[in-house]
């Protein structure tokens, strides 16, 4: 795992509202901060508490911080400055992280996802279905945007994310594998069983445009069977159904 470099004074520097080009991001709420401390301890560099945080949450986070050697401060003004919502009582500041895709594992590949909330929700589903490597092809929403972090419900800290400028760049890094692009011209997923003789990649396109035609000639394009009264399923729903299909052994 690679972690972003922070300035030497990261433990004391004034924290500003998130911007995409930051080397760090924020996670809001006690439970997601604990997920961060437990699963990506090297990324966590600071915990800020609201004076309104309850006894139990304060105890839990103070213990975690001590265990990881991370500074904790009670600082309502920083909370107010960084949090988009009023009922935020704890913030974890963490370094961004990434990892080249593991050639031996199954991957989720998101090509040009445009919605940060979808990105976070897909991360949540991916972890639920046992995927750890998530590749994102640009242009794409920012997986470290606090909205995406929030939607992932802490699952972001269990994955190995990697961004690529092109799908070919991903392929070159991913190792030999079976490709399953999800697209309307694919064959019915329900009649296929995943071929696990190699590691696999499930590939999902943009919310509006889907995957471009070139993917129809890669691996085994699949379609989720549904009535044509709606154009398509929501990306998060389609990805969830695809992952569930891949993990089930009943076929």
Binding site residues, a second copy, CB under 8 A: 121, 124-125, 127-130, 153-155, 158, 190-191, 224-227, 229-231, 233-234, 236-238, 240-241, 244, 247-248, 250-251
Sort strands 24-28 and 90-95 into parallel, antiparallel or unpaired: antiparallel
Nearer of residues 138 and 247 to a second copy, judged by Cβ: 247
Burial 36-74 (b: 16+ CB within 10 A, else e): bbebbeebbbbbbbbeebeeebbebbeebbeeeebebee
Nearer of residues 39 and 178 to a second copy, judged by Cβ: 39
- For residue 8, the minimal CB distance to a second copy (Å) is 34
Does an H or E element contain 178, and which?
A: strand 178-188
- For residue 25, the minimal CB distance to a second copy (Å) is 20
Nearer of residues 113 and 171 to a second copy, judged by Cβ: 113
- For residue 232, the minimal CB distance to a second copy (Å) is 8
CA–CA distance, 115 with 129 (Å, rounded to integer): 21
- For residue 236, the minimal CB distance to a second copy (Å) is 6
Nearer of residues 94 and 131 to a second copy, judged by Cβ: 131
Total Cβ atoms within 10 A of residue 2: 11
CA–CA distance, 143 with 146 (Å, rounded to integer): 8
């Amino acid at each position: 795992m690679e972690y972003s470099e922070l300035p030497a004074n990261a433990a004391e520097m004034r924290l500003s509202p998130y911007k995409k080009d930051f080397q760090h991001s924020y996670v809001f709420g006690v439970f997601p901060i604990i997920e961060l401390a437990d699963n990506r301890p090297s990324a966590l560099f600071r915990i800020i508490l609201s004076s309104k945080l309850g006894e139990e949450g304060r105890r839990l986070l103070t213990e975690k911080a001590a265990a990881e050697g991370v500074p904790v401060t009670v600082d309502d003004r920083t909370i107010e400055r960084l949090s988009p919502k009023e009922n935020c009582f704890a913030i974890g500041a963490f370094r961004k992280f990434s990892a080249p895709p593991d050639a031996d594992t199954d991957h989720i590949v998101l090509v040009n996802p445009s919605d940060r909330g979808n990105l976070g929700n897909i991360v949540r589903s991916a972890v639920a279905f046992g995927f750890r490597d998530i590749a994102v092809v640009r242009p794409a929403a920012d997986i470290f945007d606090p909205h995406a972090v929030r939607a992932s419900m802490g699952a972001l800290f269990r994955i190995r994310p990697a961004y690529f400028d092109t799908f070919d760049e991903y392929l070159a890094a991913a190792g030999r594998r079976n490709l399953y692009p999800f697209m309307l011209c694919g064959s019915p997923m329900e009649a296929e069983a995943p071929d696990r003789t190699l590691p696999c990649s499930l590939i999902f396109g943009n919310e509006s445009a889907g995957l471009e035609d070139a993917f129809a000639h890669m691996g085994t394009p699949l379609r989720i069977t549904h009535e044509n009264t709606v154009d398509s399923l929501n990306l998060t729903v389609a990805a969830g159904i695809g992952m569930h299909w891949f993990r089930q052994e009943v076929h």
